[in-house]
Structure 1
Amino acid sequence: MQLHDLKPAAGAHRKARRIGRGTGSGRGKTSGRGQKGQNARSEGFRLGFEGGQMPLAQRLPKLPGFKNPFKKIYTVVNISKLKRFPDGSKVDAAALAEAGLVRVGLDVKVLGTGALDRKLSVVAHAFSLSARQAIEAKGGTVTVIGEPRKIGPRRLAAKTAKRTIKEEEPDASPRSGEVGPVASPRSGEVGPKGRAGRNEQPEAEESTQTKES
């Protein structure tokens, strides 16, 4: 056998049908697109377009609020599930995955639902306060994997600026032994309550009456 004797298997290479080359070809005139309509046009429509109705991408996000892109998502394990481990054993992500409580490769957070009746050394990525207290109350230990989140320079600068502004603000309230500022009486008022100003008006009227008489 030589190179020119090699041929593809029967039916492996099919000749492509040419469309739009006359009615005798079997794919002429409308070229397999049918009569008029959206599918017969060449432009088509953009991805996600649903004919003018409210598309799915806009119907779904109904919940408002800020979405934190750096949110940590944990696999939750309650301390009531830790009863299957023997007393004094070490419980980490590998042991939890082997027991079928979590999936491999996910971060684990231990919560305090339920009761714990044995001493365990638990290693996880996060703990709730009640879970930490329950584990340590039985003589166990708690180990957090990874470092806590650090405060960025912008957030630290904003906190420092807030603190300095609060320290620089003067205290407006008078100290003990000091008398605060006294409000001056309004125009036409004499004395603390301004009653003398009202009494002056009839005296002025009496003086005008005596002059006329």
Structure 2
Amino acid sequence: MSIRIHDLRPAPGSKTEKTRVGRGEASKGKTAGRGTKGTRARKGVPAGFEGGQMPLQIRLPKLKGFKPHNKVVFQVVNLDRLVELFPEGGQVGPEELIAKGVLNKNERVKVLGQGDLEGVKFDLKAHAFSASANEKVTAAGGTCESI
């Protein structure tokens, strides 16, 4: 006689009925497996509750201010740096600065007036100039052209 599929049964004690809690005193009815008293016995702990300590979302400061999404950012180049890179002067624009490795492609450049030109004449092309840079370049006989 061989065992057939309908003869197979689980091992004794391996399968148990689901315990139905909270259904009267006869079976885990009174506290329904939650123990006695306390927050967990009554409802449940809310998400983010830190035991009465000031919660993280209240401890952290609110974001203040405003950051414009279309802010124009300039890469700054001072006059003394231009004299270092181009001691003979001449025409200097974004293309020349990219070639020297001072500027990356698609970046805007602003020329600031730190340093002296020491008699070097520049014809500058840039997106912006500070007032002092403009004065120094024109005083040395050069020109400043905004792109």
TM-score by length of 1: 0.38
1:169-191 Cα distance to aligned partner (Å, 9 max, x none): xxxxxxxxxxxxxxxxxxxxxxx
Which structure 2 residues correspond to residues 36-185 of structure 1 after superposition, within 5 A?
52=48, 54=56, 64-83=64-83, 84-117=85-118, 118-145=120-147
Partners in 1 of 2:62 and 2:136 — Cα distance?
39
Query: Are the structure 2 counterparts of residues 140 and 67 from structure 1 closer, same or farther at C-alpha, using a change threshold of 3 Å?
Result: same
Query: Are the structure 2 counterparts of residues 82 and 64 from structure 1 closer, same or farther at C-alpha, using a change threshold of 3 Å?
Result: same
AA of the residue aligned to 1:128: S
Query: How big is the shift at 1:62?
Result: 6.7
Partners in 2 of 1:122 and 1:136 — Cα distance?
10
User: Which structure dedicates a bigger proportion of its chain to strand?
Assistant: 2
Which structure 2 residues correspond to residues 5-44 of structure 1 after superposition, within 5 A?
none
Query: Which consecutive residues of structure 1, in runs of 5 or more, have no partner in the other structure?
Result: 1-50, 146-213
Query: Are the structure 2 counterparts of residues 91 and 62 from structure 1 closer, same or farther at C-alpha, using a change threshold of 3 Å?
Result: farther
Query: How big is the shift at 1:63?
Result: 6.5
Query: Are the structure 2 counterparts of residues 91 and 67 from structure 1 closer, same or farther at C-alpha, using a change threshold of 3 Å?
Result: same
Aligned length, in residue pairs: 92
Name the SS of the counterpart of 2:76 in structure 1.
strand
Corresponding residue of 2:44:
none
Query: How big is the shift at 1:65?
Result: 2.5
AA of the residue aligned to 1:122: L
Greater Cα radius of gyration, structure 1 or 2: 1
AA of the residue aligned to 2:65: G
Query: Are the structure 2 counterparts of residues 123 and 63 from structure 1 closer, same or farther at C-alpha, using a change threshold of 3 Å?
Result: farther
The one of the two structures with greater contact order (alpha-carbon pairs below 8 A, sep at least 6) is 2
Over the matched positions of the two proteins, sequence identity in percent amounts to 42
AA of the residue aligned to 2:141: G
AA of the residue aligned to 1:77: V
Partners in 2 of 1:93 and 1:62 — Cα distance?
41
Query: How big is the shift at 1:143?
Result: 0.5
1:53-107 Cα distance to aligned partner (Å, 9 max, x none): 747xxx6x87732323332101111111111214341100010111121112201
User: Which structure dedicates a bigger proportion of its chain to helix?
Assistant: 1
1:19-41 Cα distance to aligned partner (Å, 9 max, x none): xxxxxxxxxxxxxxxxxxxxxxx
Query: Are the structure 2 counterparts of residues 81 and 144 from structure 1 closer, same or farther at C-alpha, using a change threshold of 3 Å?
Result: same
Corresponding residue of 1:169:
none
TM-score by length of 2: 0.54
Task: Report the aligned-residue RMSD.
Answer: 2.5
Partners in 2 of 1:96 and 1:124 — Cα distance?
10
Query: Which consecutive residues of structure 2, in runs of 5 or more, have no partner in the other structure?
Result: 1-46, 49-54
